[in-house]
Amino acid sequence: MTSAPNKKNVHKHPETFLNPQLNVEHLSNRELSFLAFNERVLALAKDDTVPLLERLRFLCISSSNLDEFFEVRVAGIKQKILGGVEGAGIDGLSPQQELAAITDKAHEFVRQQYALLNEVLLPALGKKDIHFYSRASWNNDMSNWVKEYFDSNIAPVLSPLGLDPAHPFPRLTNKSLNFIVDLQGMDAFGRDSGFALVRAPRSLPRVIPVPVEICGSRHGFVFLSSIMHDQMASLFNGMESNGVYQFKVTRNSELYVSEEEVANLRRALQSELLQRNFGQAVRLEVAANCPVRIVRYLQRQFSLADIDVYRVNGPVNLNRLVAIPDQIDLPELKYPSFTPHIAPVLSVGMNIFEQISARSPIVLHHPYESYDPVVELVRQAANDPDVLAIKQTLYRTGIDSAFVGYLMEASRAGKDVTVVIELRARFDEEANIRLSTMLQEAGIQVVYGVVGFKTHAKMLLVVRREKEKLVKYAHVGTGNYHTTTARVYTDISMLTNNKRITNDIQKIFTQLTGLGRALNLKGIEQAPFTLHKFMLEKIEEEIGIAKSGGKGCVIARMNSLVDAGVIDALYRASAAGVKVDLIVRGVCMLKAQVPGLSENIRVVSVLGRFLEHSRVFCFGCDDRMSLYISSADWMPRNFFNRVEVAVPVPQIAMHRVKSECLDFYLKDNQYCWELRADGKYHRVKPANGEVFSAQAALIELHGAGVAIH
């Protein structure tokens, strides 16, 4: 792990060094903007133009998103409050005001989730002979089957805990399913009963299929919580149960490791991971019928206030329903399957190095075009005797990745293999630690990046001997080196042997593994050194063009827009007459279409069956257009606390990338929301009945046929 550059000389964080002309009224709250994004996800679950089982999937995604929001963002706000922070953020809200606003929105959001599940989705699924049987609907056959299933598959792994001075309230794991049982009577040892806890082991499925001969339906399910509720009394022989109530606690899951104060980052992270599941409680979800006295008891155990309690009319682990669509073989209730095709410029079976040399750059648009050529580059590099070295960054990859296997093969074949692994990729830390061990055991040089800066750039470099000289081949992209997400995330890849790009990538790898200074790169812009300044300069160029009577244009696509410096520049661009189009999937702190501030700025958010993940930045129009693909969002953390790259797309591929990644999305009127001056997102409606979906159009454009499984 290399030393960090001197942070004092790298940046000044724009959240604390704002342009004085940017008032707090000019920024939306980041956390409320995220909740607005999650409302758009929930809107897809409500949308009857979306296949029914996919609607259930979107409901689960909205639940998973909310869990992570509480684990990280709400937990962070609570930490500020506990630390006595009262000052307002860059949007003018104090932590206390922020938490209050979030709570109001989140409670209403949860109410809508369960109303949608109970009143819309479950009845609609029932009409398709997909049934979730509640205890009230069980007949004798079902009740007998439930008892047998419980005795055989559930009871042996349960450890009920009676609460008394010898058995105090235990430390419950983050997001685990638990039951509190209100007991009456004496136990076998003559002790007065009171409350007992039963934890549902994570090894147990949360939704259990029921045999067709028992329920009469091909697709019948029962919730684990219903089975445990029904059979709970059998765990407390001789005592009477006055009630069984499910609950779930969400905890702070942020890892607190000061990299500059530890001798070994990996060891420190391993130690911290042991505590992740037991961080400070931030939310309590309980069954809607749970008595107030029991809720108060649970609140005391977790030190939570009334606003932190969420009563739910259904399973508290809602996102576990995400497994259901894969268990049901009804294609008409899902998105049509399709197989990403191999890009036409690539010949199957041909030497990948020859293909890149003949056609560089090769731009791939995933998942519409197959990710296989990227994997093939590493596969052929591992087996090619002329390849001398492979260097790759890994952020979220997984230990079972094809990339990992080929990198290990290359190392065993005597090639020099270097991998930069980001140990601190949130919620993938444990997997990345295991991965780093595997790679090191295969003889690969593993580097953990730079202290204080996450390595988020997506880069791959292959060095090959050709006719007595060394030739470099590179892959850069907007997405992680993960073959599974490459089938469900939209991303842009570029394969090239362009010397300006490959030389820059070589320099960056040398910097990451060594102790180099800031680089003088010829084509690539790099965070935390030049990327922020470069983006501001490109916007300033468009301002200058507009002020001189020309046509200024900025089109940018990203996951999140948070950086105050960029927002201020975009406001000034709007005032100068620059046309600004922003495609921001999630959080956006910029306010659009506000008179006197942002009349010339349009912000849209496009969602769909694939997770929109590309970052593409376009400046200028017509013959003076420049376009970049990047690993970075326009956020302070990406500009100043991460190693990121933005790579120019050569002119030969520029118009295609602009068309597919920007123009299609600005045209979308089916799954597109537009941010208006009132600060709210309004769903775009088709004009004259002409419906256009960017994702559907791209599937058709690339002729991917009809088989992403």
φ, ψ for residue 613, nearest 5 deg: -135, -10
Rounded distance between C-alpha atoms, residue 634 and residue 539, angstroms: 13
Length in residues, the chain: 709
Query: How many CA atoms lie less than 13 Å away from 186 in the CB half-sphere?
Result: 4
- DSSP class of 524: -
Number of Cβ atoms within 10 Å of the Cβ of 20? 6
**Which residues make Cβ contacts (< 8 Å) with residue 569, sequence separation at least 6?**
535, 536, 539, 540, 543
Instruction: Decide: helix, strand or coil at residue 438.
Output: helix
Phi, psi of 551 (to 5 degrees): -105, 105
Q: From residue 5, how far is each of 107, 190, 453 by CA, in Å?
A: 44, 67, 9
Closest Cα to residue 606, out of 698, 667, 673? 673
Q: Are 459 and 645 in contact (CB under 8 A)?
A: yes
**Please, what is the end-to-end C-alpha distance for the chain in angstroms?**
39
The amino acid at residue 641 is N
Cα separation values, 243 from 149, 197, 495, Å: 22, 12, 62
Distance CA 480, CA 471 (A): 25
CB atoms within 10 A of CB 626: 14
Phi-psi group of 703: left, alpha or beta (phi > 0 → left; psi -120 to 50 → alpha; rest → beta): left
Longest dimension (CA), the chain: 90
CA distance linking residue 176 with residue 201, whole number of Å: 8
Residue 79: exposure state from Cβ atoms within 10 A (0-12, 13-18, ≥19): middle
Residue 208 and residue 206: Cα distance in Å, rounded?
Answer: 7
Of 420, 416, 407, 175, the residue nearest 279 (C-alpha): 175
Instruction: Count Cα atoms within 13 angstroms, Cβ side, for 625.
Output: 23
Q: Tokens 């069956």, residue? A: 609
Distances (CA, A) of 333 to 124, 125, 328, 338, 646: 11, 10, 9, 15, 40
Give the list of residues 6+ apart from residue 219 with CB closer than 8 angstroms, or none.
128, 129, 130, 131, 209, 327, 328, 330
Catalytically annotated residue among 26, 456, 613, 702: 456
What lies within 8 Å, CB to CB, of 653 at 6+ separation is 361, 363, 494
Give CA–CA dist 648/470, Å, rounded: 23
- Amino acid, single-letter form, for residue 540: E
Q: How far apart are CA 543 and CA 541, in angstroms?
A: 5
C-alpha distances in angstroms, 448 versus 263, 458, 514, 689? 13, 14, 11, 53
Residue 658 has phi, psi (to 5 degrees) of -60, -45
Residue from 321, 614, 338, 343 nearest 487 by CA: 338
Beta bridge partners of 387: 464
456 is catalytic: yes
Helix 402-412, helix 429-441: angle, nearest 10 = 20
Q: Which amino acid is at 376?
A: E
**Please, which residues bridge with residue 494 across strands?**
363, 476
Catalytic residues: 456
